Amino acid sequence: MVKPPLPALNDIEGSKVPDSFPLIVDAHVHVFPEPIFKSIWKWFDKYGWPIRYKFHTATVLDFLLSRGVGHIVAFAYAHKPGIASELNRYMANKCEQFPQKVTGLATVFPGEEKSEQILRAAFDAGLGGVKLHAHVQCFDMNSEEMDIIYDLCSSQQKPIVMHVGREPKIDGYSCDPYLICGVKKLETVIKNYPGLKICVPHFGMNEYLSYKRLIEKYDNLWLDSAMVLTDYFPNNGSFPLNEMRIDRIMYGSDFPNLPFAWDRELKWIHKTRLPDKFLECFLGKNAIDFFSLSKS
């Protein structure tokens, strides 16, 4: 369990991505309308860690793209019923402002009225999948309300990014992630929906070994690396990235909700000197495949 306040690291940031890197797709970036961003910053200050980059959406996207990130996958999530449609319209608008550079995901509050219609409208507006966060939305991933989302995404061939790992468990959440999240629950979804592409962020923190085994067993599960490659979280050592299945892991930063430099984990990857083929897959190709991004 994360016991706040976790520290700000104040480490030195670089001005660009390493020159030797192939195309980078940042598969985990958050954008919200300004009032929601401000509420998130306040929440993190109290319950999580100091957010270093308190930027608004346009600055978030400009910041990463100007430093050499080739493509961004942007997320928002609805923390209550009734706001998903507005968030999805906001996301679609931002994607239009950054053509060919930003792919936005839709969101919905599981169980809210007309959830299927909300997502259909978002897909019609060009959004490329769905983002859900169990810690915030407090859903049971094995419930009937989630089946509605799984069925639609399967039929529309849209991927889902679901934060359903148990950590970070924080007092500020209104539900206990250990009761609603976990590998066994996710495996049920994977088995029931073999054609549905699912990504679990943060490498499934803190069930790393179990998630490693799961991506070796199933072809419809991916993991992203947001915030877990280095030693920021307590009892979280440097990650054995080269031991993971090469075609089922994706780089993600969790920008801008970071307590450390935007490129801290990119620097770690660079120092690790992974093979070129591994870097090509991990930094870009796998995200292109998962999100069905244009390769142009």
What's the CA gap between 46 and 61, in Å, rounded? 26
Cis amide bond preceding 206, omega within 30: yes
What's the CA gap between 86 and 84, in Å, rounded? 5
Close Cβ partners of 278 (under 8 Å, ≥ 6 residues apart): 242, 246
Amino acid letter, 58: A
β pairing state of 160-163 and 198-200: parallel
Q: Decide if 189 contacts 141 (C-beta within 8 A).
A: yes
Is residue 238 predicted with pLDDT exceeding 80? Answer: no
Q: Decide if 106 contacts 81 (C-beta within 8 A).
A: no
pLDDT tens profile 60-95: 999 999 999 999 999 999 999 999 999 999 999 999
Q: Domain ranges for the chain, please list them.
A: 25-291
pLDDT tens profile 152-199: 999 999 999 999 999 999 888 999 999 999 999 999 999 999 999 999
Q: What dotted CATH number matches 25-291?
A: 3.20.20.140
Q: What is the model's pTM?
A: 0.97
